[in-house]
Structures are given as C-alpha cells and as structure tokens.
Amino acid sequence: MSPTVTDVELTKNSGTQDGDGPPLVDPDELEREAALSQLFDRQYTSMLRLATLLGADDPENIVAEAYYQVYRKWRKLRDAGASEAYLRAVVCNLTRMRIRHLQVVRKHVEAPPVDAVASAESSALLHEDQRALISALNRLPRRQREALVLRHWLGLKEQEIAQAMGISCGSVKTHTARGVAALTQAMEARR
C-alpha cells in the first residue's frame, strides 16, 4: 500500500502517520541499525584485537571510527556479509594512518636534552625560573601570549598560528617578536 498525499503531509507536519502515534521509522533504517548492532556484537572484540596487534596506540578510538565509517557507507555495501570485510579494511587503514601520523609527529618533536641528575640547588633555581617565566608570560598582552604559547609550547609554524589566531602571518611575527622581547626584558630584570 503506497502512502497518500495526506499521509505524507501528516508525516511531514507531525512526525507521525496519524498524528497520535509514535513517529514513523524507515524500515531500511531499522534494518541497518539491527545489522550494525549484530556486527558490533560479533566483531568488536576481534576488531579491537586487530587494531592493537597492528600497533594502534588508541585501538578503542580506531574501532569506534571504523564502525562510524561502516555506518555511513552501509547503503553502498553489496550485502551485510561485505560489512565485515569492509570493517576490517577500515580498521587496518585507520591504524596505518594513525601510525604514519605518529611517526611524522615524532620526527618533528625535538628530543629533550639529556642532562645529568641535577642538584637540589639547581632544581630549586630551575623551578623558580619557571615560575618567573610563567608569571611574566601571564603579564603579556593576550595576542603576544597566544602567539608565544602556540609557537614555543605547541611548536606550530607561523601559518598554523595565523590560522589558529585568525590573524595574518605578519601579525604572528610581530606578536611573537614583541612577546619574546618583553619576556627577555622581564627575565633580565630579575637578575
């Protein structure tokens, strides 16, 4: 039985077929939800194990993202049986991408200098210097402080800082230079 114009109008206006009952639900949507639920019950543990064995640092998030991808592409899958293979492929691809991302990040992170064990006196001075630096940083104007934190603590490039702050690259250079000058002056005044 095909819906009439009145049924379609009622559905659009009230979210229900007759205005009183529960909202209409697409049977295909119910079928998709049930199939995904079964897929989750059957495959979650093995997909989690797969992501872990492939070297994922956060396998739960990778598997969750994989299920989301399957959910989005469900209508394009040939049949429900293809969903397991697709899920497995997505977990593999997401894990590979995550590992590549981590490798790139690790290449660009500066290794901290290897120091000998510091004496108690130098540790106390270091902590005092850190407190003074943070105090001086907090006294800077907001834009200078943001530019310095994004550049030196997060290690972002000028273009990334400009996008994050919503300013031009030239402004980033200006704020960074002025911030460094102000911090240098504040730290030298302490000595």
pLDDT of 94-125, one tens digit each?
988 998 898 888 888 766 655 555 556 556 65
- Per-residue pLDDT, 92: 83
Q: Are the CB atoms for 94 and 59 separated by under 8 Å?
A: no
Q: 65-99: per-residue pLDDT in tens?
A: 999 998 888 878 767 677 887 888 888 889 889 98
| Cα distance between residue 52 and residue 40, in whole Å | 17
| Cα distance between residue 87 and residue 44, in whole Å | 10
Rounded to whole angstroms, the maximal C-alpha distance in the chain is 88
DSSP class of residue 55 equals T
Q: 150-169: per-residue pLDDT in tens?
A: 788 777 789 888 877 778 99
- Per-residue pLDDT, 4: 45
The residues, any chain, with a CB within 8 Å of residue 176's CB and separated by 6 or more, are: 144, 147, 148, 151, 161
- Whether residue 170 is predicted with pLDDT greater than 90 in this model: the reply is yes
From residue 15, how far is each of 9, 91, 148 by CA, in Å?
9, 37, 53
Q: Residue 43: CA atoms inside 13 Å, Cβ hemisphere, count? A: 24
- Whether residue 54 is predicted with pLDDT greater than 80 in this model: the reply is no
